Structure 1
Amino acid sequence: MPASYLWLIPLLPFAGFLINGTLGRRLPRAFVSAVALIPTALSACLWIWLWFTMKAADAPESIHSFVSLFGNPWISISGFHADFAFTVDHLTLIMLGVVTCVGFLIHVYSVGYMAHEEGYWRFFAYLNLFMFFMLVLVLAANFVLLFVGWEGVGLASYLLIGFYFKKDSAANAGKKAFIVNRIGDFGFLLAMFLLIAHFGSLDFSTVFTAISQHPEWQGGFLTAIALLLVVGATGKSAQIPLYVWLPDAMEGPTPVSALIHAATMVTAGIYMVARTHTIFDRSPYALGVVAIIGAATAIFAACIGMVQHDIKRVLAYSTVSQLGYMFLACGVGAYTAGIFHLLTHAFFKALLFLAAGSVIHALSGEQDMRLMGGLRKRIPVTFWTMTMGVFAIAGIPPLAGFFSKDEILFRAFTSPNPIGKLLWLVGLITAGMTSFYMFRLWFKTFFGEERFEEHHDTHGHGDHGHGVHESPLVMTLPLMVLALLSIIGGWVGIPAALGGHDEIGAFLEPVLANGVTVTEVVSHGTELGLAAVSVLVALIGLFVAYVLYYKKPGTASSYAQRFPALYRLVENKFYIDEIYQAAIVTPLLVFSRLILGGLVDGGLVNGSGFAAGASARGLGSLVRRIQSGNIRSYAGWLALGAAAVIAVMIFGHSLWLH
């Protein structure tokens, strides 16, 4: 594919956004759907063409393309310049595939899910805008353009999460996502300023080449840059302490949840860390911070996910936990393992969210798993496809999630990080917890007695008046495709110890080759043993969920009643939102209302305006007396003025002579 056509990949969804955003209100829904889907499908086709064209290159280093959209620099200020330029390499190809292909499937699914919603045209306009900005982010050849895409997906997420803007909870969730991400973005901006100060450029190739040419650069300013980039990544990829926006993002329509969690926004932080690995490789301290944040987030979110009742919130905390796995991989220098898990996670998490949407669609908007049960015979396609997603994320071989998760655990176990074994243990425990809460969701939703009522659709989902029913083909077809990918998607990374060739590792090696090496050499037997342990832990999680929620369904409630304080603590998400509200939000509001609102706005701004008005009124009251309407008063003022003029002339002339 000629480089000059690379710009079409993001431009096509943007064209869909422009058409639906300006004309969609007056267009029939079928036309709106076509305008949204066709550009996205064409972008996916262009990615396929690009993939085969670049794979056909003879030398691995030639699998690279660069295109500048303007003949002159996009930004040129005081010696600094940046191009509006796109670049493609091995990492970009994988990310483009995830965004375009999974994004297209979510668009198709949305046609059925949103069929009876108001603002249909607006939803698809926002969806296309999201795709455009994510593709710009992935294709960017420099930090400036990456930041444009970075901010763009933040804007689009605000619009999509708050799609039901008449609901206060949805509007507040959109604002929360936007504000929390601004905190992370502030760190990203500071990192860019440091890059300009030390390198005079924000171009990837310039910065990374300069670092590679100076092996003596270790830590120092590179650590500062890396840590500031971590701040940005924790916001976008929902890691501790900036993860709080992502669970609330469930207020948006379910396809939005799938798009944000699987194919786009939350993976941007992982992509950014992998893309800038040259910087992180020179800072063991920054890598350690990334690893610790990832491990802590993984197990923390898994704890919360085990007791949630809303089916979408279980999946939301699952996403936070799985992103923690990816951070953990990057933190131990296993960037390839992190991207591999990003790839498989896109498949099974998109499947899980869309299947959850199909369940919600069948139950006319119900999301509480306590009001579900026995659905496997009512919605069989949804059941079997979601089963593949549950087994994949739980790490049951040979499904996709097993290979990518096991690679992360293996790299943590054999990493040079001093606490690598501890990180592996945390990841292993998290794997067991993941298996437990996902099979808990599975059993509570599809097995046991039916706890829902047959009722008509009152939430805008599905066909009115048909009760519990399977979703239409436009929704189930993407589920079937994603289920297949959740089964076979991990086979590209089967390690040699399990009889594979780790194709994805070899493919990404030219981009993600780094200085972090494994210090502990282990045999294939040890690798197989570690894999067996992780499978055993996943099976234990399945067994515990089976006993508590299928075999003896009242047991879990009895445990909750036996330890009410601990259960309430976890159920209420460790009161982190309440702590943030009391320690950060409320003081800021008080400060803004009393100090800024009272002193600055009320005192300085309003006071200066009042003073100016009072002065004008005082002067006016004096001048007004001249215009009294009394002829004798006018004659007096005229005489007084004439006397003053004569006095000035006489005394002024005398002073001039002297």
Structure 2
Amino acid sequence: MYTIIVLLPLAGFLIAGLFGKSIGAKACEYTLSGFMVVAAILSWIAFISFGFGEGETLRVPLLQWMQSGTLDVAWSLRIDRLTLVMLVVVNTVSSLVHVYSIGYMHHDPHRARFFAYLSLFTFAMLMLVTSNNLVQMFFGWEGVGLASYLLIGFWYKKPSANAAAMKAFVVNRVGDFGFALGIFGVFALFGSVNLDTIFAGAADVAGSLGGAGHDAAAAGAEAASHGAAAATGDVVMNFAGYALTMGSALTVVCLLLFMGAMGKSAQIGLHTWLPDAMEGPTPVSALIHAATMVTAGVFMLARMSPLFELSSTALTFVTFIGATTAFFAATIGLVQNDIKRVIAYSTCSQLGYMFVALGVGAYGPAIFHLFTHAFFKALLFLGAGSVIHAVSDEQDMRRMGGLRKHIPKTYWMMVIGTLALTGFPFTAGYYSKDAIIEAAFVGHNSFALYGWGMTVIAAALTSFYSWRLIFLTFHGKPRASADVMHHIHESPWVMLVPLFVLAAGALFAGILFEGAFIGEGYGEFWHAALFTGSDNHVLHDMHEISFWIAFLPTLCMVVGFVTAYFFYIARPSLAKQTADRNRGLYQFLLNKWYFDELYDFLFVQPAQRVGRFLWRTGDGKVIDGFGPDGVSARVMDVTGRVVKLQSGYLYHYAFAMLIGVAALVTWMMLGGAS
């Protein structure tokens, strides 16, 4: 069954890619959507039967990939609770996006290619989350990057889409370089890239570092550690000329792995590609930003929790970056006017929440928020697509308004998604996001309280910009042109049904799965999928905090709602007045903290100058000048002069013959004399 789940998207990609023109776009749409629905149903069956049963971790071998010395990489599937959660998330969202795209992309002439890319993206993500070794994970990691490049730049005739696709590809290569170095470091420390060997070796390393290890480490204790248990203080690795002990080497490796996660999950510094990815079709935005590509970094850190548990420095850094990202992205979302960009920065902020949880050792809450976030964020993106579809492809919220009566179904779906995102009581976000804030409050690393403060502030900001989106888009007076208002219509059912399914998840995923993910059934559900050190009591402590600390996120949600209502419904002119009075701050946020301008100054322009110099001077003047262009120019010069001798006059030729005869006689006379 698991092989079928993973290979169905690949089969769909091959069918659409090889035979799309032969069978037609409609056949591709229904075939690939059907494959994805089957994969989603099988994923839920596996999740319920295996995830809530007593099954051990399964390993499904597919083929032997490569062997070189001690490097042994087999292509196999690792099926545990963490994998099952990701299978449900990826296949559910992807199947709904496929179905939704039948309506949204109805008029596009290249639908077969679009659906092929969607299925390729899904297959790459499934290979990533089912990997049993780091090389296989890296294959899926890069496959997701390739497919995202193709999807973001799907409308390749738009220069902005090409630029956004290239930007996503290049920025992710920076993070991927760190991830690759991290994999090399893991192999140097443990002598293997197989997860079982690494986790077993981590238990020995924990003992050598004086730690108690993690409770689930014994599950893999029978695997060989390949000499990983070095005594504290022994040099085990050289990095950039520095000798590292086991403890510092683990920290370096964890930081390099996190560098890869920062790129894929758009954390501050490597986040700039995410908003520009909105240039792709809206279903692509939902697929990339909700449940797949951007969650790859969160999944990878959770999977590698046995290593991160051994490096408090790495976890502290993860907490700092996550908290800063949560606040930073939320501030930018306050002033964005593109409906998709507001939701994109919301994604960036929510990913920061997940990394805060990972940083304080709350792996269950992090994956729980990944799970619930997939439903309400996909709902918001697809709801935004329904709005854009209704208003003739307009995305600027300043040109909308008053849409509530025209597209009521879309309106209520967007409201449900907003309630879940802002943490309204008993919705999915209320359980998962509040759990992260509580975990940060009881965390013990140096930036735990910083993480708590930033996530609390971000909760208020999230509520404000989320309700600002609702009020600007659906309430107030219509601001669209008369022609646009005349053509406003509700989306077809093929687009609305996926919204209803996601709305159910946004409402009930939290209350249904809280006990298993972070409650009393935590240990039984996760089994050995998540590793938590014996001195990590975050899950226990977060359930014992005071009522007021637990209530604070809800209070922030209310404050954000009331403020947005006051600015955009009660006194609509106040928003512009406030922006005018604080012009500098407004421009700072509107220009996204000037990260793009800074990177353009530090990296893009110098790279262009170097490239221009190498092109014009190195390639043009030196290589071509002295090489093929120079040689050919000299030949042309010589032949040009020789051609002038071919005048066509008989006396010129007679004169040349006399000169030749005179020269020959002179040479013979002088030669004979000698």
TM band (smaller chain): 0.7 to 0.9
| 2:604 corresponds to 1:585 | yes
Matching residue of 1:383: 411
1:32 and 1:187 map into 2 onto residues whose CA distance is: 38
Which runs of structure 2 are paired with 1:517-528 in the superposition (5 Å)? 517-518=536-537, 522=541, 526-528=545-547
Matching residue of 1:419: 447
Matching residue of 2:188: 197
| 2:130 corresponds to 1:139 | yes
* Partner SS for 1:166: coil
Structure 2 counterpart of 1:511, from 516, 529, 535: 529
Matching residue of 2:237: none
Matching residue of 2:366: 338
Matching residue of 2:243: none
2:109 and 2:50 map into 1 onto residues whose CA distance is: 43
> How much does 1:374 deviate?
1.4
* Partner SS for 1:511: coil
| 2:458 corresponds to 1:430 | yes
Q: Which runs of 5+ in 2 are unaligned?
A: 210-245, 644-652, 668-674
Matching residue of 2:378: 350
Which runs of structure 2 are paired with 1:490-501 in the superposition (5 Å)? 490-494=510-514, 501=519
| 2:9 corresponds to 1:13 | yes
Which runs of structure 2 are paired with 1:135-534 in the superposition (5 Å)? 135-215=126-206, 216-217=208-209, 219-455=247-483, 467-494=487-514, 501-503=519-521, 506-515=524-533, 517-518=536-537, 522=541, 526-534=545-553
Q: Could you report, residue by residue, the CA deviation over 1:280-310 in whole angstroms, capped at 9, with x for unpaired residues? A: 1111111111110000011000000000011
| 2:580 corresponds to 1:561 | yes
| 2:80 corresponds to 1:101 | no
* Partner SS for 1:81: strand
Contact 2:420–2:428, Cα closer than 8 Å, also in 1:
yes
| 2:103 corresponds to 1:112 | yes
Which runs of structure 2 are paired with 1:609-648 in the superposition (5 Å)? 609=627
2:539 and 2:375 map into 1 onto residues whose CA distance is: 32
Q: Could you report, residue by residue, the CA deviation over 1:224-282 in whole angstroms, capped at 9, with x for unpaired residues? A: 11111111111100001000000000001100000000121000011011111111111
407-416 vs 79-88, which moves further: 79-88
- TM-score computed with the length of structure 1 as normaliser: 0.88
6-15 vs 388-397, which moves further: 6-15
1:185 and 1:520 map into 2 onto residues whose CA distance is: 32
Contact 2:99–2:498, Cα closer than 8 Å, also in 1:
yes
| 2:619 corresponds to 1:601 | yes
> How much does 1:425 deviate?
1.2
2:99 and 2:86 map into 1 onto residues whose CA distance is: 20
1:378 and 1:502 map into 2 onto residues whose CA distance is: 45
Contact 1:493–1:502, Cα closer than 8 Å, also in 2:
no
2:12 and 2:467 map into 1 onto residues whose CA distance is: 39
Contact 2:316–2:446, Cα closer than 8 Å, also in 1:
no
1:123 and 1:576 map into 2 onto residues whose CA distance is: 31
Matching residue of 2:650: none
- Which amino acid in the other structure matches residue 464 of structure 2? F
1:211 and 1:633 map into 2 onto residues whose CA distance is: 91
> How much does 1:99 deviate?
0.4
Matching residue of 1:65: 59
1:456 and 1:377 map into 2 onto residues whose CA distance is: 15
> How much does 1:128 deviate?
0.8
Would the alpha carbon gap of residues 546 and 56 (structure 1) be closer, same or farther in structure 2, given more than 3 Å must change? closer
572-581 vs 501-510, which moves further: 501-510
- Which amino acid in the other structure matches residue 173 of structure 2? R
1:606 and 1:99 map into 2 onto residues whose CA distance is: 51
340-349 vs 546-555, which moves further: 546-555
Contact 1:187–1:231, Cα closer than 8 Å, also in 2:
yes
Would the alpha carbon gap of residues 193 and 607 (structure 1) be closer, same or farther in structure 2, given more than 3 Å must change? farther
1:276 and 1:214 map into 2 onto residues whose CA distance is: 14
7-16 vs 467-476, which moves further: 7-16
Q: Could you report, residue by residue, the CA deviation over 1:374-418 in whole angstroms, capped at 9, with x for unpaired residues? A: 111111111111111001000111100011011101111111113
2:538 and 2:44 map into 1 onto residues whose CA distance is: 38
Q: Which runs of 5+ in 1 are unaligned?
A: 458-465, 641-658
- Which amino acid in the other structure matches residue 17 of structure 1? F
Q: Could you report, residue by residue, the CA deviation over 1:336-378 in whole angstroms, capped at 9, with x for unpaired residues? A: 1111100010000000000011111110111111111111111
Contact 1:394–1:538, Cα closer than 8 Å, also in 2:
yes
Would the alpha carbon gap of residues 615 and 142 (structure 1) be closer, same or farther in structure 2, given more than 3 Å must change? farther
> How much does 1:331 deviate?
0.8
2:315 and 2:626 map into 1 onto residues whose CA distance is: 52
- TM-score computed with the length of structure 2 as normaliser: 0.86
Contact 1:415–1:517, Cα closer than 8 Å, also in 2:
no
* Partner SS for 1:24: helix
Contact 1:238–1:245, Cα closer than 8 Å, also in 2:
yes
* Partner SS for 1:416: coil
2:583 and 2:296 map into 1 onto residues whose CA distance is: 38
Contact 1:492–1:502, Cα closer than 8 Å, also in 2:
no
Percent of aligned positions that are identical: 46
> How much does 1:164 deviate?
1.0
190-199 vs 547-556, which moves further: 190-199
Matching residue of 2:558: 539
> How much does 1:454 deviate?
3.8
> How much does 1:29 deviate?
3.1
* Partner SS for 2:72: strand
> How much does 1:193 deviate?
1.5
Would the alpha carbon gap of residues 168 and 583 (structure 1) be closer, same or farther in structure 2, given more than 3 Å must change? same
> How much does 1:562 deviate?
1.1
Contact 1:416–1:518, Cα closer than 8 Å, also in 2:
no
Matching residue of 1:45: 41
- Which amino acid in the other structure matches residue 498 of structure 2? P
Runs of 4+ off more than 4 Å: 500-506, 519-525, 610-621
111-120 vs 606-615, which moves further: 606-615
Q: C-alpha root-mean-square deviation of aligned residues, in Å?
A: 3.0
1:468 and 1:504 map into 2 onto residues whose CA distance is: 48
Would the alpha carbon gap of residues 593 and 432 (structure 1) be closer, same or farther in structure 2, given more than 3 Å must change? same
Aligned length: 618
Q: Could you report, residue by residue, the CA deviation over 1:554-574 in whole angstroms, capped at 9, with x for unpaired residues? A: 111111111111111111112
Q: Could you report, residue by residue, the CA deviation over 1:303-348 in whole angstroms, capped at 9, with x for unpaired residues? A: 0000001100000100000000011111111111111100010000
1:525 and 1:47 map into 2 onto residues whose CA distance is: 35
1:348 and 1:504 map into 2 onto residues whose CA distance is: 23
